[in-house]
């Protein structure tokens, strides 16, 4: 499939400068061919353009002055790249049909233009919106509501009482609505399950990565708001609330009853304790642990930077002896003060 640059501008905006050529793919600068369009989102990579063979480029106006090739000028090249890349590389779609091997309860309603693949199971009193793509081996429970244009990839499990908005994407192995980790101990310290009946509510345009889990709320729902992006292998515990347009990287663990604001970014392997609140526009660095409320937006990080083992071992020895060192410093300060008094 080919597009003229003028067609891209008509679809996505921007300003065309130079010849209106046709392109058939978008590629990074070091892989682009003559019939490709590339992009420059960070000027520190501009030197790479000297060797670039692309036929056209998406670029900011201030970075484009000395380039001869055709250009699409835009204020946000990286976002423009995502639009063009989605145009050239759309998600794979199933044929609009319900496979004979799918098992769908008679009380469930399916809106027009469904694509439901082999061995899908859908429980009672559920509702599937228009143009949904449900791949093989998906299991959807009872009393589930799924909006329009939702894509659910193979082997996803959606438990009972989950509500999902429009245009959401669930990648393979995701589990939504399983029991939260609610247990009570008796006098013998034996654990007993606390029923989790609150369900999960997911907004519009949410994307959830492979093997991510979102637990059911205890009484009230676990909530993931509009536009959130959640990576693979993330654990979201019961009664968590995740704000709109928040991004969560892989291996983050969020304990129960935590409230995360809008436009928050959580770096990979971060851990968030229970009953914590994180305000809007906060960034948590990778491998950081958050144990108390964050009320002021900013960058927070406590992950240790990797170093040679011998250097780490020396630093750890000093860390273990920091109280002793502190006491010695106080003793020295007291002696200096006494000498100065004489």
Architecture of domain 3-88: 3-Layer(aba) Sandwich (3.40)
- For residue 193, what are the CA distances in angstroms to 90, 196, 205, 273? 44, 9, 33, 21
pLDDT per residue as tens digits for the range 218-260 = 999 999 999 999 999 999 999 999 999 999 999 999 999 999 9
238 catalytically annotated = yes
Q: According to the model, what pLDDT value does residue 312 have?
A: 87
3-class SS of residue 128:
strand
Beta sheet of 121-122, edge-to-edge order: 103-104, 121-122, 139-140, 157-158, 175-178, 213-215, 235-236, 253-254, 271-272, 289-290
Helices (H), the chain: 5-12, 77-88, 309-320, 322-341
pLDDT per residue as tens digits for the range 31-75 = 999 999 999 999 888 888 888 999 999 999 999 988 889 999 999
Percent of the chain with pLDDT over 70: 100
CATH domain 156-300 topology: UDP N-Acetylglucosamine Acyltransferase; domain 1 (2.160.10)
Residue ranges covered by each domain of the chain? 3-88, 156-300, 309-341
Q: Which of 91-100, 192-201, 320-329 has the lowest mean pLDDT?
A: 320-329
Contacts of 264-273 with C-beta under 8 Å, sequence gap 24+, read 267/301, 267/303, 268/231, 269/303
pLDDT per residue as tens digits for the range 130-165 = 999 999 999 999 999 999 999 999 999 999 999 999
Q: According to the model, what pLDDT value does residue 204 have?
A: 98
Residue 342 banded pLDDT, cuts 50, 70, 90: low
Percent of the chain with pLDDT over 90: 86
Which of 192, 238, 245, 263 is flagged as catalytic? 238
Contact assessment for residue 126 and residue 138, using Cβ atoms and an 8 Å cutoff? no
Q: According to the model, what pLDDT value does residue 340 have?
A: 82
Q: For 189, what's the count of Cα atoms within 13 Å in the CB-facing half-sphere?
A: 0
Query: Crossing angle, helix 322-341 and helix 309-320, to 10 degrees?
Result: 60
Q: Give the global pTM.
A: 0.90
């Amino acid at each position: 499939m080919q597009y003229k640059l003028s067609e891209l501008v008509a679809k996505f905006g921007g300003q065309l400068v130079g010849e209106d050529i046709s392109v058939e793919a978008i590629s990074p600068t070091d892989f682009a061919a003559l019939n490709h369009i590339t992009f420059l989102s960070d000027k520190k990579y501009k030197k790479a353009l000297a060797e670039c063979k692309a036929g056209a480029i998406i670029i900011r106006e201030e970075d484009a002055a000395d380039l001869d090739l055709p250009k699409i000028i835009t204020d946000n090249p990286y976002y423009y790249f995502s639009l063009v890349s989605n145009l050239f590389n759309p998600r794979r779609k199933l044929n609009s049909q319900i496979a004979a091997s799918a098992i769908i309860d008679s009380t469930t309603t399916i809106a027009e233009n469904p694509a439901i693949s082999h061995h899908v199971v859908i429980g009672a009193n559920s509702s599937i919106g228009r143009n949904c793509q449900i791949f093989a081996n998906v299991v959807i429970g009872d009393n589930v509501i799924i909006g329009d244009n939702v894509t659910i990839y193979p082997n996803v499990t959606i438990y009972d009482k989950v509500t999902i908005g429009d245009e959401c994407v669930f990648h393979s192995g995701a589990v939504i609505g399983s029991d939260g980790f609610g247990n009570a101990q008796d006098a013998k310290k034996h654990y007993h399950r606390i029923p989790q009946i609150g369900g999960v509510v997911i907004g519009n345009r949410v994307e959830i990565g492979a093997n991510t889990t979102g637990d059911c709320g205890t009484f009230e729902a676990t909530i993931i708001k509009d536009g959130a992006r959640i990576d693979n292998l993330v654990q979201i515990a019961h009664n968590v609330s995740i704000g709109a347009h928040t991004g969560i990287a892989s291996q983050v663990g969020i304990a129960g009853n935590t409230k995360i604001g809008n436009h928050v970014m959580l770096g990979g392997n971060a851990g968030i304790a229970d009953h914590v609140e994180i305000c809007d526009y906060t960034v948590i660095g990778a491998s950081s642990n958050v144990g108390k409320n964050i009320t002021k937006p900013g960058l927070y990080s406590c992950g240790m930077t990797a170093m040679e083992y011998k250097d780490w071992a020396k630093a750890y020895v000093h860390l273990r002896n920091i109280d002793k060192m502190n006491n010695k410093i106080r003793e020295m300060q007291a002696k200096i003060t006494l000498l100065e008094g004489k």
